[in-house]
Structure 1
Amino acid sequence: MALAKLVPFAVEQWMDQHESRAKYNIAETCVASISLDELQDLSENKESELWSSSTKLTYGTIQGSEKLRSNLANLYSAKKPLQADKILITPGAIAANMTVLYSLVGKGDHVICHYPTYQQLYEVPKSLGAEVDLWRSKERRKWQLDIEELKALIRPNTKMVIINNPQNPTGTIISKSTLDSLIEVAEEHNLIIMADEVYRPLFHSISPMSPDFPPSVLSLPYLKVIATGSVSKAYSLAGIRVGWIASRSSELIEACAQARAYTTISVSQIDDQVAAYALSQDVIHGLLNRNIQLAKRNLGILAMFVESFRWACEWVKPIAGTTAFIKFSKMGQDIDDVAFCEKLIEETGIMLCPGSMCFGEEFKGYVRFGFCCETYVLDEGLEKLREFMRKGYQTLPLAEEI
């Protein structure tokens, strides 16, 4: 299967260009990263071993260690047990997504992708020869999806629906009722559901008891579903490149395993063992509690900023994940979000992500905030942003009409 030339990956290029010189990185999408010492401090068992230096550094278990896959299987087994052999370990969620798409999508297929979202999820299917339609969530509906719109997009050759739950960049969720309806549609048309769940389980503003609380797609009563994830976002461990593909379908997992054999073979044994330690019962509860509390605290700080500048910005307050999508305007007209973000990094050291560059031309005026950095970074960065809003905001150009 030949890959067509991919278009530039805008958000990753923006991050690569600016993050090394940012003084206040409020664009980062991971919960504030931690060191191995800090990870061990979160363990309920201080005697547990994070890494054995006597381990020989072979390729290790090709699909991922039994310990890591068993720990992950436990996370997906709340309603129905998932076997460890239904999980494939990859170098990050980006490799997981790439492997799934390369394995299952090709010329002649039609793919429907939740939007806005991470550019990889719709550009890679295009590069593989598939036709792609965007299933748009809209701000006026609080970034929720419409099942009737999905039904109207389905064609005879539709093979896959891709969702991102929780959603980057908006921080919203696809509710349980919408997921249930999605499964009904998928069953009717024999579709594969691929869910990028990389921000799961960072639910900071919704209770598991809420009827809207979204389960993983692996908890839904349908076999042809795939979930991808990683330890980077909700688990603060982007520095170890560990992600995964999980499915209850042996056929789908085997297809991904065959494709993966041509690329990464296995992940680093060191990374695998650190991830297994982080997701163990001794550590995961302390780690997630630390991260959810940080997200709640920082979201409150960002909410106060938005409230203070209602004359310039508006948002749908995030429910989960690490990002917020905030729209800036002047006198009812959208600002040039790229000029805004460039001016901020140059004059204040604040790094944000421009919506129209990183998520699509229709998002002029939108800026993505990554609010789960260290609290002091957010505090100091927003103070600098307040100064800019008072002194420099009115000098910003307006967005050009599309």
Structure 2
Amino acid sequence: MDMPVIGVEDWLNVWERSARVDIAQSTIASLTFEELQALDGEGGATLRDAIAAEKLNYGWIEGSPAFKEQVASLYTTDIAPNRILQTNGCTGANLNALMAVVRPGDHVIAEWPTYAPLYEIPRALGAEVEYWQIHEELGWHPDIEELERLIRPNTRLICINNASNPIGTVLSAEEIKAIVEIASSVGAYVLSDEVYLPLEDTDDFVSVIDVYDRGIVTNSVSKTYSLPAARIGWVIANDEISQTIRILRDYTMISGGAINDCLATYVLAHRDRVLARNSAIMQKNRAIVEQWVAQQPRVHWTVPKGVSTSYVRFDLPNNLDDETFCLDLLHKRGVLLVPGSRFELPCGARLGYCARSEVLEKGLTLLGEALSELD
């Protein structure tokens, strides 16, 4: 299997430990262990008791019943536990789901540009991948009419990223239902990576698993729930695809581990507190960035729709590309961004604006200094 590097991951693998000011990540300010313990109102007693009672073995292979119950409660439809399978983050969820669905020679339509595994894995599995492009003039949304033109009788799968990484745009419930209608006309599956849950305008967000029997959803506790350390995600599909994923998991991960399952279950059980915390961080930090952007003639920001990932466009001199600029920013000022070129996007960068506020403010100040030197 010939796999290209994932641009954003390759960049972070090389450079993130060199940063003094990291405003590149797409997690909402990761919880400290102290914050984690405070969620239950008992100083973490329920978490400590749960961990203390665990045998340090593989744990529940597919995820504990308590974990599956918490995941099922995130959706509006009744989802049987056997359709919920624990994975190694959303990355593992996408890998297992795509391996379960895609066959050599299949026609796959993938939203583009976005997180590369959603189109590179199907291509590596032997599918013919066509891009369903997002358009800046449409607010970085795709055009439903273009999807209608791309769909074929033999289309096996449509891949979407809702919300978009790194843009931060969210497909509306109307758009999701239109995608489902087009997919159902040929019996195609729809895989929706939903790791970035919007924290506002939630009435206009719908999970594909709640509206389509051939919907497949992937998610994790890493981004919206601020617990990437647990490395726990999940995939939900119909019975047939879930059974195939169940087999594949034995090849790719076995289990998520007893302690990690405890951590993920605990966070999901107390998600109201986590989401309240994170909504406050998101709103405060978004206002900080909007105020900063208003003072930056070389910056345009597509304001994210209540999710933790975002994208800024740079007006750089013709002889300067975004990767060179971001490297210079890192080496001279210690500030980490991910160049837009690592997502196949125009000149700009992923801005992790949901870092801790003091980190964001320092990073923006230094970024502004670097941009001003271009004038």
Report the TM-score range of the alignment, normalised by the length of the smaller protein.
over 0.9
Q: How many residues align?
A: 373
CA RMSD of aligned residues (A): 1.5
Is the 8 Å Cα contact of residues 336 and 364 (structure 1) preserved in structure 2? no
Matched residue, 1:268: 257
Cα pair distance change 1:33/1:226, threshold 3 Å: same
1:245 alignment partner, one of 235, 239, 243:
235
Matched residue, 1:397: none
Matched residue, 1:382: 364
| Alignment of structure 1 residues 1-400 onto 2, 5 Å | 4-44=1-41, 46=43, 47-50=45-48, 51-76=50-75, 78=76, 80-200=77-197, 202-203=198-199, 206-209=200-203, 213-220=204-211, 222-247=212-237, 249-280=238-269, 283-309=270-296, 311-330=297-316, 335-356=320-341, 358-360=342-344, 363-390=345-372, 392-394=373-375
Q: Helix, strand or coil: the match of 1:223? A: coil
Amino acid at match of 1:241: R
Amino acid at match of 1:56: K
Whole-Å Cα distance in 2 between the matches of residues 312 and 269 of structure 1? 49
Is the 8 Å Cα contact of residues 166 and 173 (structure 1) preserved in structure 2? yes
Whole-Å Cα distance in 2 between the matches of residues 178 and 335 of structure 1? 37
Unpaired runs of at least 5, structure 2: none
Distance apart, 1:62 and its partner CA: 1.3
Amino acid at match of 1:208: T
Distance apart, 1:315 and its partner CA: 2.6
Amino acid at match of 1:385: L
Unpaired runs of at least 5, structure 1: 395-402
Q: Which runs of 4+ in 1 moved over 6 A?
A: none
Whole-Å Cα distance in 2 between the matches of residues 352 and 368 of structure 1? 6
Is the 8 Å Cα contact of residues 151 and 182 (structure 2) preserved in structure 1? no
Higher helix share: 2
Is the 8 Å Cα contact of residues 72 and 84 (structure 1) preserved in structure 2? no
Whole-Å Cα distance in 1 between the matches of residues 320 and 196 of structure 2? 29
Whole-Å Cα distance in 1 between the matches of residues 37 and 271 of structure 2? 11
Is the 8 Å Cα contact of residues 335 and 365 (structure 1) preserved in structure 2? no
Tell me the TM-score normalized by structure 1: 0.89
Whole-Å Cα distance in 1 between the matches of residues 346 and 194 of structure 2? 26
Distance apart, 1:334 and its partner CA: 9.0
Q: Which moved more, 1:98-107 or 1:55-64?
A: 55-64
Percent identity of paired positions between Structure 1 and Structure 2: 35
Distance apart, 1:109 and its partner CA: 0.4
Is the 8 Å Cα contact of residues 152 and 186 (structure 2) preserved in structure 1? no
Whole-Å Cα distance in 2 between the matches of residues 294 and 284 of structure 1? 15
Whole-Å Cα distance in 2 between the matches of residues 185 and 16 of structure 1? 38
Tell me the TM-score normalized by structure 2: 0.96
